[in-house]
Chain A
Amino acid sequence: MNLECKHVWEQISGYLDKQLDPEMLAAVERHLESCEVCSAVLDSTRNILVLTADDQTYELPVGYSERLHRKLTEVIEGGDGGG
Chain B
Amino acid sequence: MKPAVATNEAALIARIVAGENELFHELIRPYERLVYVTIFAIVKNETEAEDGAQEAMISAYRNLKSFRGEAKFSTWLVTIAMNEARKRLRKAKTKAEDSLDEPAEEREGDYTPAVLTDWREIPLAALERKELKEKLREAVGRLPEKYREVFVLRDIEELNQEETAAALGINVTLVKVRLHRARMMLQKMLVPYLKSEAPLLGQGKPARGGFFRGWFQ
Contacts and interface: CB of A to CB of B under 8 A. Distances in A.
Interface of A: 5-6, 9-10, 12-14, 16, 19, 32-33, 36-37, 39-41, 43-45, 47-58, 60-61, 64-65, 67-69, 71-73, 75-76, 80-83
A24 to B, nearest CB: 14
A45 B183 contact: yes
B211 A82 contact: no
Contacts of B119: 36, 40
A14 to B, nearest CB: 7
B180 A44 contact: no
B11 to A, nearest CB: 13
B179 A13 contact: yes
B206 A36 contact: yes
B25 A82 contact: no
B58 A75 contact: yes
26 contacts: A9-B184, A12-B183, A19-B176, A37-B115, A41-B113, A43-B209, A44-B191, A44-B194, A45-B184, A47-B194, A48-B183, A49-B183, A50-B216, A51-B132, A52-B156, A53-B156, A60-B32, A72-B25, A75-B61, A76-B22, A76-B24, A82-B64, A83-B17, A83-B18, A83-B19, A83-B21
